Structure 1
Amino acid sequence: MSGFVEKGIIRVHNHVGPDIWLMQIELPRIAKEAKPGQFVHVKVNDPRYILRRPISIAGTDAGRGIVEIIYRIVGKGTEAMSHLKVGDTLDCLGPLGTSFDMDKDHIVGIGGGVGIAPILFMARASREGQMTVVIGGRNKEEVFWKDLFPKKVRQMIVTTDDGSYGIKGFSVSVLPKLFAEEKVDEACVCGPGIMMRTAAEMAKEAGVFCEVSMERRMGCGIGTCLGCVCDRKDGKGHYKVCADGPVFNAEEVVL
């Protein structure tokens, strides 16, 4: 899906975590069409930055025409975005990419860093009790996400590297026990590469179908520039993350 360009007014823009911002934009067409796992390609309102920035959709409110994104300042482009004000207009291309499979009865969503955003969208779109959510961060300050998830999730598991909140350790450390004790139909993962690779390996060992959301630098966002390719596991070339993904069967890509 190539999406469409839509300009919308910023309705909310809050600093919510360490270098992390939450933005709600009035984008009725994108809000109506977007599915969990997809992203928007955002044009920074600054002539110094020509390329758009790909940002996962964290949630939508189709009734109000709102698209929510949560992003971390990682460079000059996103730093410039953080200075935008409520009432400013933002140019977005979307919704882009593939989405997570939401048809399973029990889905475990595993997220780390800003990779938690698509897991949040999944949880918001899920049925009552359909999802178990596992999120991790370095410390208590980084797991502010826990308060954004709806109460309809089956279970919420939070881990921190330093043990300042929830279970001490990495998010993937709880998966073997979870997979062994509960009937899990699907695992959906988004976060740092090593976390996704480990989670996918654990899911495979437990016989659980696994999807991963890949993150890459993107130029066009629609499959023409070839700047975001990832290797196919079958050795037959590459996938374009923006167009063939970002969500893939974990068995199809090299993590």
Structure 2
Amino acid sequence: MIYDLDCKILENRYISGKTYILKLQAPEIAKNTKSGQFVMVKPTLEDYYDPLLRRAFAIADIEDDTITLFYDVYGKGTSYLTTRNKGEYLKVLGPLGNNLFPEEYDNYIIVGGGIGFAGLSLFIKEIKRKGKKYTALYGARKKEDLSMIEWIEENQVEVIYYTDDGSFGKKGLVTQDLEKIIEDNPEAPLLVCGPKGMMKAVSKIAVSKNRPCYLSLESRMACGIGICVGCVVKDKSKDNYVRVCYEGPVFEAKEIEIL
């Protein structure tokens, strides 16, 4: 079920780089969310309409009746969102998304880039709780772009870090050790979220190794429920287009074309 709620802001603060953390009291959404889903948030006050559209954010974590979101500041909407204060209310639509990560495996290879790690974190937390195996890779250009380090440490998640400039973790791309990691984890699928270039590179390696690869796509969305058809990607297997918000957000890499 999808809810359209006025959610109380419990925390909205700067972390690093261009990333903020936003915690909202949203009991109905928290209770009914599956890992991989997202919400649409109206950044402005209820009677303000510039910008008009809501913004899509992955549900990165859930604690009791609280959902946690991470967002990068890019334009007017997210810039305005940084000005919203603890105790105020935001209009939130969710949980959204229908096609999610597969849960039937016992071992996973998880690859996140930048803010994209927020699309994977709740799933990691859940498989960790279930005692399943995983290898998590997290990369960015520099340390300050690894904005979820604090969350990772608080939740005792084991992660291999990569930075392009070597300012934290291993120096280089998140894909540099991937072939060996795939070979060391037979039958483990890859779950990926991050910049398109990174997802393309990871997908190419996964396909070459004949390994299942699931991409959680990020896209600009107007409605989040499949009506506007503004967030489509090409489905190569069916030679048509599918909506990231409705048929996704998770797709098998071999089935879609990342533009």
TM over 0.5, yes or no?
yes
- Cα contact 1:10–1:23 (8 A) shared by 2: yes
Match of 2:252 in 1: 249
Distance 1:73 1:43 in 2: 14
Give the distance between the partners of 2:104 and 2:24, measured in 1 at CA.
28
Matched, 1:24 2:27: no
Q: Within 5 Å, give how 1:127-142 maps onto structure 2.
A: 127-142=130-145
Structure 1 runs, 4 residues or longer, greater than 6 Å off: none
State the match for 1:69 in structure 2. Answer: 69
Paired position in structure 2 for 1:203: 206
Root-mean-square deviation (CA, aligned residues, Å) is: 1.4
Give the one of 183, 188, 209 matched to 2:186: 183
C-alpha distance in 2, partners of 1:204/1:105? 20
Task: Please identify, of 177-186 and 110-119, the stretch whose mean Cα deviation from structure 2 is larger.
Answer: 177-186
Does the 8 A contact of 2:19 with 2:72 survive in 1?
A: yes
Q: In 1, Cα distance between the equivalents of 2:105 and 2:19?
A: 31
Q: How does 1:105-254 map to 2 (within 5 A)?
A: 105-126=106-127, 127-149=130-152, 150-151=155-156, 153=157, 155-234=158-237, 236-254=239-257
1:165, distance to aligned residue in structure 2 (A): 1.1
Question: What is the match of residue 101 of structure 1?
Answer: 102
- The one-letter code of the counterpart of 2:69 is I
The corresponding residue for 1:42 is 41
Opposite residue 114 of structure 2, the aligned amino acid is G
Offset from partner CA, 1:85-136 (integer Å, 9 cap, x none): 0101011000000321132111111111211101111111223352211000
2:125 counterpart SS class? helix
The one-letter code sitting in structure 2 at the alignment partner of 1:52 is R
Q: What is the distance in 1 between the residues matched to 2:176 and 2:187?
A: 16
Task: Tell me how many residue pairs correspond in the alignment.
Answer: 250
Q: Secondary structure at the match of 2:91?
A: strand
Per-residue deviation, 1:144 = 3.8
Work out the CA distance in 1 between the residues paired with 2:178 and 2:251.
20
Scaled by the length of structure 2, what TM-score is found?
A: 0.92
**SS in structure 1 of the partner of residue 177 of structure 2:** helix
Q: What's the % identity of the aligned pairs? A: 33
CA positional deviation for 1:181: 2.0
Query: Is contact 1:13–1:24 with CA below 8 Å preserved after alignment?
Result: yes
Alignment of 1:80-95 (within 5 A): 80-95=80-95
Distance in 2 (CA, whole Å) between partners of 1:25 and 1:177 is 40
The structural deviation recorded for 1:182 is 2.5
**CA apart distance, 1:169:** 0.7
- Between the aligned partners of 2:69 and 2:10, the Cα distance in structure 1 is 12
TM normalised by structure 1 equals 0.93
Compute the displacement of 1:187 (Å). Answer: 0.6
**CA pair 184-163 structure 1, distance change in 2 beyond 3 A:** farther
**1:235 Cα shift?**
5.4
Q: What does the per-residue CA deviation read over 1:142-200, in whole Å, with 9 as the maximum and x for residues that have no partner?
A: 2242331232x4x4110000011111111112211111222352110011111111111
The residue type paired with residue 197 of structure 2 is: I
Kindly indicate whether the alpha-carbon contact (under 8 Å) linking 2:44 and 2:77 is maintained by their aligned counterparts in 1. Answer: no
Distance 1:142 1:129 in 2: 28
- Unpaired segments ≥5 residues, structure 1: none
Shift of 1:240: 0.7
Aligned-partner residue type, residue 12 of structure 1: E
Alpha-carbon distance in structure 2 between the residues aligned to 1:205 and 1:59: 33
